[in-house]
Amino acid sequence: MLESELTHAAAIAREAGRILLDIYATDFSVDFKGQGQSDPVTEADRRANAYIVARLHAEFPSDGIVAEESEDNSQALRRRRIWYVDPLDGTKEFVAKNGEFSVMIGLAIEGGAQLGVVYQPSADKLYRGVLGQGAFLEHAQQTTPLQVANVATPADLRLIVSRSHRPKSTEALSQALGITRETISGSVGLKIGQIAEQHADLYVHVSDKSSAWDTCAPEAVLRAAGGEPGDLVSVTIYLTDIADYQAHGREIGEVWRELAGRVYPAMAGIGCTRLWQPEAMIEILGVAVIPDERLTVPGVVR
């Protein structure tokens, strides 16, 4: 199942990575976008985005495609199958030229992340996973199965944090849970890759801003590597219609906040959901260790 999709996604990600490296080797310019013009964007983002979208559309013309550098994604969200594309995850690290950036291509089917590819061009490392079929790392001409570590005690967790920013709430969380070990990495996809390789155990994104192209591919890889609810809960819900959000969005947010606060009071206010209206989706804003619990929301397909 999804063998063709995975093969094409991996090949497309590798070729997009070559596009990034071609520009990475030059003295490229940097523009800024978003609220406050604070998010960097380069020609590499745009060129890789155009290539990935064109290839996915050619291979899977009936699927929706939501890509970070594509302006209008509204019609794509009406499809049963939606590809979420971040052509350059970790643009700040790309600009800094430290190698910690990736290409991320994920496939959500009926609202749930099913397939993910995360490719780090600078190291030629490709993480791939399909739910129910396992996750693997392709590196140095070898393919290695991935399995997340089985850590039950919060104080034993190894936290992985962003290189470009560290909110005060991350430090508060570490202290509350007794976490003393942490590592740093750029790119959401590479952080999740580190968890899948058992180099880290927990990543918490504390922000009011995120997108499904940031989470779809990493979530699929993580869950395929054994990061299931009950051990590591990632709240990523992809809605295909605004009406779904209007019906369930508030309930989802309240359930998550109550659950996180009840199990670990330190997590209260960290795990929450928010709709970015133009994209009609609820995004991941927190990850928590919640033993023996399930997050279930009636009426929403996971």
Domain edges within the chain: 3-146, 154-288
Structure tokens that stand for 122 in this block: 């600078």
What is the reported pLDDT for 2?
A: 97
Tens of pLDDT, residues 123-176: 999 999 999 999 999 999 999 999 888 776 777 878 888 887 776 667 766 776
∠ CA 155-156-158 to the nearest 5 degrees? Answer: 105
Per-residue confidence band for 73, with pLDDT thresholds at 50, 70 and 90: low
Contact 219, 106 (CB under 8 A): yes
Residue of 233, 99, 234, 86 lying closest to 163 (CA atoms): 99
What is the reported pLDDT for 290?
A: 36
Q: How far apart are CA 302 and CA 50, in angstroms?
A: 29
> Does the pLDDT value for residue 186 go beyond 80?
yes
CATH of 3-146, one of 3.90.1200.10, 3.50.50.60, 3.30.540.10, 3.90.420.10: 3.30.540.10
Tens of pLDDT, residues 50-60: 999 999 999 99
Residue of 236, 123, 246 lying closest to 187 (CA atoms): 123
Q: Tell me the residue type at 10.
A: A
Tens of pLDDT, residues 87-134: 999 999 999 999 999 999 999 888 778 999 999 999 999 999 999 999
Q: Which residues of 259-275 are buried (b: 16+ CB within 10 A; e: fewer)?
A: bbbebbebbeebbbbeb
* Residue linked to tokens 């968890």: 195
DSSP annotation of 61 reads T
What is the reported pLDDT for 277?
A: 33
Domain 154-288 in this protein, CATH class: alpha beta
Pairing type for strands 181-185 and 158-162 reads parallel
What is the reported pLDDT for 295?
A: 32
> Does the pLDDT value for residue 35 go beyond 90?
no
The H-assigned helical ranges of the chain are 3-24, 43-59, 91-96, 168-177, 188-196, 212-224, 242-263
Mean pLDDT of the chain: 76
Helix 3-24 × helix 43-59 angle, to 10°: 160
pTM: 0.79
